């Protein structure tokens, strides 16, 4: 019994150590931290704006290619949608706020251990792509032009993208970025002020003055 208990404890310790050293967990934690960075958030909003249009820069997590909307996260990878572009029929599995292609999503979700393709998972995957191409460090430093150049092979709408689709100029990109960055900082300032505002004082009951006799 003692031997059995020893080996059980040893096995449990090994499994615990493996879980603690899970590289995908550490990577997700790092990406989650970057999600909160204002520069990164602004850059992600520009991607969404360029990829799915100015009407949905803050949403778009259920958006297919051609802006068709999915009903859930479950069946997105099964849809390959066609559309006419410059006289040619183009088919694409692009989906979500950042228009992930099926193969791209399969690769990234496996590396990050993502089980679904919800909003949080899409944000993490987009930041991972920026990290993987070397653009993330430059975004954190505010060097947007360098970041765009490094990431232009990922998103077809980026300035200098080689895919022959509609692209935006670097001036347009920077204009959008500065607008989103300013709005994010303003909103955070407003929330911080609201959180730090003194709570309204409760009206206290006062004892009635003694009546004169």
Distance between CA 53 and CA 2 in Å, rounded? 66
Mean pLDDT lowest among 34-38, 78-82, 107-111: 78-82
Domains of the chain: 23-187 (1.10.530.10)
CA of 87: how far to CAs of 20, 83, 92, 168, in Å? 54, 10, 16, 21
Q: What is the largest CA-CA distance in the chain?
A: 100
Tell me, what's the pLDDT at 72? 65
pLDDT greater than 70 at residue 177: yes
Query: Of 155, 48, 159, whose CA–CA distance to 92 is shortest?
Result: 155
Distance between CA 155 and CA 47 in Å, rounded? 8
* Residue 92: strand pairing partners: 81
Q: Considering the chain, what percentage of its residues have pLDDT values greater than 70?
A: 67
Tokens (6 digits) for 192: 């911080």
The pLDDT tens digits of the residues spanning 116-145 come to 888 999 999 999 999 999 999 999 999 999
pLDDT greater than 60 at residue 78: no
User: What is the pTM assigned to this prediction?
Assistant: 0.76
């Amino acid at each position: 019994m003692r031997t059995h208990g020893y080996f059980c404890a040893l096995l449990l310790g090994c499994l615990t150590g493996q879980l603690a050293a899970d590289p995908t967990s550490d990577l997700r934690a790092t990406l989650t931290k970057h999600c909160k960075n204002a520069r990164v958030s602004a850059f992600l909003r520009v991607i969404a704006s360029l990829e799915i249009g100015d009407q949905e820069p803050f949403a778009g997590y259920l958006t297919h290619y051609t802006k068709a909307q999915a009903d859930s996260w479950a069946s997105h990878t099964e849809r390959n949608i066609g559309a006419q572009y410059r006289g040619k029929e183009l088919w694409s599995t692009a989906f979500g706020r950042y228009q992930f292609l099926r193969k791209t999503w399969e690769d990234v979700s496996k590396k990050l251990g993502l089980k679904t393709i919800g909003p949080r998972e899409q944000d993490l995957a987009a930041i991972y792509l920026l990290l993987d191409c070397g653009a993330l460090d430059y975004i954190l430093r505010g060097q947007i032009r360098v970041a765009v150049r490094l990431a232009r092979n990922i998103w077809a709408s980026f300035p200098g993208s080689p895919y022959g689709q509609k692209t935006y100029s670097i001036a347009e990109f920077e204009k959008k970025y500065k607008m989103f960055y300013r709005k994010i900082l303003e909103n955070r300032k407003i929330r911080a002020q609201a959180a730090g505002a003194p709570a309204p004082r409760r009206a206290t009951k006062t004892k009635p003055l003694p009546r004169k006799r």
